[in-house]
Structure 1
């Protein structure tokens, strides 16, 4: 963090009309227990007041807010033989990533203690949580209304609203983000002045205000609209989409194409999907009257699954991003992080995303279906093409979807036939409570009705696997529904 930003931050804090619950000025009071209580109180008060951090500054007069300088040396301070900062870290629970910074302000030496707002639970010092009220630091439990407000305000860490680039100028924002694409995809007219541009970016939390009339670019803004992801930290740039195409059926085959995404997801999404569809082989399909060329994988399915991989990945998994691998007979789309719902229920249950702001904006821009209507359409497209059923597979720390190329019923594996039967029953049930029947499953597999016994055999195996059941036990021929229906 630059000294210039710290000086601007001090100036921003000094102009406040009085000390706030999350802000305190000191001259030279360096009592360790006082500092520990303040850490607890500032973290809790900052969360209640909607601030990212609380601050304690030494070298600022608490009455006039003038810079008077301080001799306090946080690095040299010791408590019972321990360094002050190590001692504080041991006394604060949950763990708090506080920092001390010594700032050479033009008017004197200032020491700043920055304490992040509480996130998962009230911050306690020596097992007691504190709060700031005026100039006092009472126990939080003595003020139940504030305790209740703090609990309501606590929320898990939201990766999208974290900071990708801090303390940048307006010119930097316009260079680092492809703001024109933001207005295009959100179908808003491009403002004719900078103030209007920043107002809209701020409203969607793609940027945030920093001190000294500068800006912060959020992870959401960078990941979606970065003109060049490499302009940001490696932890973010490594979340770029990677595409690998193999000339064969396994990873030992020759790699014919490799693409590492350079732009933010929104800026590069259309180009990526078009590029994939151009690379995918096409098969000749005989329709009712004409021959037509169809891609190996349905375009709608590819688009939806790529969007899902971007949206539902676990952003806290470092060094990994979505990966798309295309083989001779299948496409594998993998994203970091285990899914939040069971793989077999992904078709019917509404998606649960770790990244709600990202998901909402992607849907608003039309990159994916409305919530809860995506994967069922993928399966419907697969059925329309009479392809083997997609496989939803959980890894140790990843989620993978596999799309398969054309294969006849005879060439599908027993597991694929059972999975296709279950997915077909789910689609029928989602269509107004319809029931899967032998005839509908024959149509899904492309089985001649004269060979309907083949579909009957698959239905029996799906029942034995505990995936489907008879819809009405008193009328067994009425059809079948998913086991959870």
Structure 2
């Protein structure tokens, strides 16, 4: 039986014996910065076994210790198969895990990522996402190009500071500017930050085109079903959450059953479940991904919350129902927590899971490439 995969893809790479140590290091880095993968040594580009003249396990392990930074520990398996002439040859499968210490780079200080069946040097945007995933960089405190203080809702900011018994509007201009910078709503240069504009912006979508929630209601259970309702929800994050919650409540069916000649409503999800999933999507999405909005899709049998950006390095799907807390956007977390929309205790998704369990419903948490998806059965 031929153990070699049929073709190269996002998770499979073929390499002949003549491959240089540097090239192998680059492939390993690319896989580690993504979802992991396998390098098949002694195999040509067409997937034919050409064999190895010796065992390269020690060489591979040395490359992973010295030419990959931080070091990574792959799994090495020496296998036997037949070449095209029917001769028995040795090949090796090197399994690279999804890196838990991303971003990885080579000893030549180059960061690689995997795109389809090839590797490439990470672009600035892709590198930003890798550092975000590692918690080494927070996009929400970056200045928004072209934005000014006049693009912030002064009334909303006044209400925010009133929670701390600060009369923002009665302060002089210098003190108001100090408060904005001290709270990271604006930078020291008095330019609104991504987080400040998202929460307090009058129309943040004008400067941050990725901001907003796309809401759609389908007549059926498939994405190609006809649409019953569709809208784009913009404004500051509190407005997005409130309007999306209202849209869900206006469209979601009320569970019921017939008892005798009467229809009796059955218990359904409380509002806090949908509110939590909306807040989670808004606060934890990756805002450095420019071309994609948060999407909420309501089907006959389920509702899906789709948020751009994979989970951070330290978070696994299996941990989400037990209270794991993570913060890709710590400024957004702080601002939305202070506004009463969330807490930092990691109780939100476990609450969603428990509420679904009470109703005998399933909830799925899916980390799917560059998206995080929550699917709630109705």
TM-score by length of 1: 0.45
Q: Spell out, residue by residue over 1:76-115, the C-alpha distance to the aligned partner (whole angstroms, 9 max, x if none).
A: xxxxxxxxxxxxxxxxxxxxxxxxxxxxxxxxxxxxxxxx
Q: Structure 1: give runs of 5+ residues left out of the alignment.
A: 1-119, 121-126, 128-154, 406-485
Matched, 1:400 2:373: yes
Query: Which structure has the larger Rg over C-alpha atoms?
Result: 1
Large movers: runs of 4+ above 4 Å: 290-296
Name the structure 1 match of 2:225. 253
Q: CA deviation at 1:398?
A: 0.9
Matched, 1:191 2:168: yes
Q: CA deviation at 1:262?
A: 2.0
Q: Is the 8 A contact 1:277 1:295 kept in 2?
A: no
In 2, the alpha carbon distance for the partners of 1:182 and 1:375 equals 29
In 2, the alpha carbon distance for the partners of 1:294 and 1:181 equals 38
Q: CA deviation at 1:185?
A: 4.9
Matched, 1:157 2:137: yes
Counting helix residues as a fraction of each chain, which structure ranks higher? Answer: 1
Matched, 1:278 2:250: yes
Greater length-normalized contact order (CA 8 Å, ≥ 6 residues apart): 2
Change (3 A) 1:295 1:331: farther
SS in 2 for 1:335: strand
Matched, 1:181 2:156: yes
In 2, the alpha carbon distance for the partners of 1:286 and 1:300 equals 27
SS in 2 for 1:353: coil
Among 294, 298, 301, the alignment partner of 1:326 is 298
Change (3 A) 1:292 1:203: farther
Q: Give the 5 Å matches for 1:156-235.
A: 156-166=136-146, 168=148, 173=149, 175-185=150-160, 187-188=163-164, 190-193=167-170, 195=173, 196-210=175-189, 215-232=190-207
Q: CA deviation at 1:281?
A: 1.4
323-332 vs 179-188, greater mean Cα deviation: 179-188
Q: CA deviation at 1:208?
A: 2.2
Q: Spell out, residue by residue over 1:248-305, the C-alpha distance to the aligned partner (whole angstroms, 9 max, x if none).
A: 1111111122121220212332222122222211123799xx9874675432111111
Q: Structure 2: give runs of 5+ residues left out of the alignment.
A: 1-102, 104-108, 110-134
SS in 1 for 2:144: strand
Q: Is the 8 A contact 1:246 1:256 kept in 2?
A: yes
Change (3 A) 1:276 1:294: farther
Q: Spell out, residue by residue over 1:418-464, the C-alpha distance to the aligned partner (whole angstroms, 9 max, x if none).
A: xxxxxxxxxxxxxxxxxxxxxxxxxxxxxxxxxxxxxxxxxxxxxxx
In 1, the alpha carbon distance for the partners of 2:250 and 2:177 equals 37
Q: Give the 5 Å matches for 1:427-438.
A: none
Q: Is the 8 A contact 1:281 1:295 kept in 2?
A: no
SS in 2 for 1:243: strand
Matched, 1:366 2:340: yes
